[in-house]
Amino acid sequence: MHDLSTMPLTGRLLDADAAGKGVVDLEAYEASGGYQAARQAVTGMTPAEIRELVKDANLRGRGGAGFPTGVKWGFVPMDGAAAEGHKYLVCNADEMEPGTFKDRYLMEKDPHMLIEGMIIGAWAIEADKAYVFLRGEYHEPYRQLQDAIAQARSRGYLGEGIFGTGFNLELAVHRSGGRYICGEETALLNALEGKRAQPRTKPPFPPASGAWGRPTIVNNVETLCNVPAIVTNGADWFLELGRGEDAGTKVFGVSGRVNNPGLWELPMGTPIREIIDDHAGGMQKGYRLRGILPGGASTEFLVEEHFDLPMEYATIQAAGSRMGTGTMILMDDSICPVDMSRNLQHFFAQESCGFCTPCREGLPWVEQLLLDIEEGRGQPGDLEVLDRNADFIGAPGNTFCLHATGAIEPLMSALKYFRDDFEAHISTGRCPYREA
């Protein structure tokens, strides 16, 4: 099934806004079948059956890494001493990735869908505590979530004895202090505990020892929003939604000089060019597309030779990038690749937690070198210096977490695909994109 217009209402992530209904309140959500999947899961299915269903559906994480959700849930201990006591389900709603705004939209428009997904996810891992770890600047999603949680609790969907069973679940919203590093799940858990947002040593991994040393699962907003529809419609239905190897739909986004920037729920495997031309309305008159960051600012550039590729995990990885969040940042022919690279490095340098020397010292140094090149102070050999430093800073294992690796990826690909632009800056002593 690739025509999403025939999807049941209980399967659409963006249906509410597409129909012009605005924010979905509890009554409207229930009228379209809301919370029936949670009731079905809690009263009619075992946690093991839920985990197996989500695994069979091949739901992969929508936050960037694409790890299979059902497999991840299966890592939580269900027997023995480790299974005794609290378990936690945490929704990563920090969404600090530049160019990414899909989770904000889902929480603003349909907060009950996220809550229902969290109820089912908590039941699947036998968690009794759940948190939405929310980006601090997301004021409207915070209000919508708080209202929706209160409404759900008033109906008996949260709290003690959910659906008349022995299942208890408390759900709260935790507002982030506002650092990009909180998107790394162990840094997120440290921040949730009131500690400095710094990644933890792994192992142990969060499913075994996460929040307050207890088994914890961290999932993205969009990932959890897919769960109710899988319970309602089944694994085979979800598998058939995709156009390739990956299952389900994806909320894709485009920002840049297109005629219709925004978000669209489309089948996994929808080609890049189709998203840009058919849904984003193509490039604005007078602008030519040169490159895209396919999944947020920490992914590698793709260029013209890649624009007919389907947006799916393995294909984009094979092309040398990552699908990431599926929200594209477009670079047109009026944008200087050197200055865009400098701007990205400025962001990542600011957002380093400061624990590792290559990240803490290396990223600002790279930013300064790019600024020198952009402002006409570049020297012969600077690009080779950038190459060496990018190789070292970006190599996995040279830093404590993958922040530096993600930061360097767009620069390394810019040096690969737009090297002539870098060389022109150095040879002419000026930025060719600036007015003389």
Q: What is the DSSP string of 156-197?
A: TSSBSSGGGSS--BEEEEEE----GGGGSHHHHHHHHTTS--
Residue type, 261: P
pLDDT confidence of residue 223:
96
For the chain, report the end-to-end CA distance as a whole number of angstroms.
54
CATH number for the region 337-428 comes to 1.20.1440.230
Q: Which residues pair with 266 in a beta bridge?
A: 250
pLDDT confidence of residue 16:
42
pLDDT confidence of residue 402:
86
Q: Per-residue pLDDT for 415 more than 60?
A: yes
Q: Per-residue pLDDT for 358 more than 90?
A: no
H or E element at residue 346: helix 337-351
Question: Radius of gyration of the chain from Cα atoms?
Answer: 22
Q: How confident is the model at residue 20 (pLDDT cuts 50, 70, 90)?
A: very low
| CA dist., res. 273 & res. 115, Å (int) | 34
Total H helices, total E strands in the chain = 20, 9
Q: How confident is the model at residue 65 (pLDDT cuts 50, 70, 90)?
A: confident
CATH class of 249-332: alpha beta
Least confident range of 49-53, 81-85, 132-136: 81-85
Q: Per-residue pLDDT for 294 more than 70?
A: yes
CATH number for the region 11-240 comes to 3.40.50.11540
Q: Per-residue pLDDT for 302 more than 50?
A: yes
Residue 297 buriedness (CB in 10 A; 0-12 / 13-18 / 19+)? buried
Q: Report how far apart, in Å, the C-alpha atoms of 49 and of each of 34, 193, 219, 234 are.
A: 21, 31, 19, 12
Residue 429 buriedness (CB in 10 A; 0-12 / 13-18 / 19+)? exposed
pLDDT tens digits for 148-174?
999 999 999 999 999 999 999 999 999
- For the chain, give every residue range classified as CATH 3.40.50.11540: 11-240
pLDDT confidence of residue 183:
85
Q: Per-residue pLDDT for 134 more than 60?
A: yes
Range list of H helices, 57-159: 69-73, 102-109, 111-125, 139-154
- Counting Cα atoms < 13 Å in the Cβ hemisphere of 105 gives 18
Q: What is the mean pLDDT of the chain?
A: 91
Let me know the angle formed at the C-alpha of 105 by 100 and 111, rounded to the nearest 5 degrees: 135
Q: How confident is the model at residue 436 (pLDDT cuts 50, 70, 90)?
A: very low
- For the chain, give every residue range classified as CATH 3.10.20.600: 249-332
Is the omega angle on the peptide bond into residue 203 within 30 degrees of 0, that is, cis? yes
H or E element at residue 91: strand 88-93
Q: How confident is the model at residue 18 (pLDDT cuts 50, 70, 90)?
A: very low
The sign of the torsion formed by the CA atoms of 2, 29, 74, 314 equals positive
| CA dist., res. 19 & res. 397, Å (int) | 47
Residue with tokens 């990932």: 223
Q: How confident is the model at residue 81 (pLDDT cuts 50, 70, 90)?
A: low
Q: What are phi and psi of 328, to 5 degrees?
A: -85, 140
3-state secondary structure at position 201: coil
Within 10 A of 305 (CB to CB), how many other CB atoms are there? 9
pLDDT confidence of residue 82:
66
| CA dist., res. 106 & res. 98, Å (int) | 17
pLDDT tens digits for 187-235?
999 999 999 998 998 889 999 999 999 999 999 999 999 999 999 999 9
Residue type, 68: P
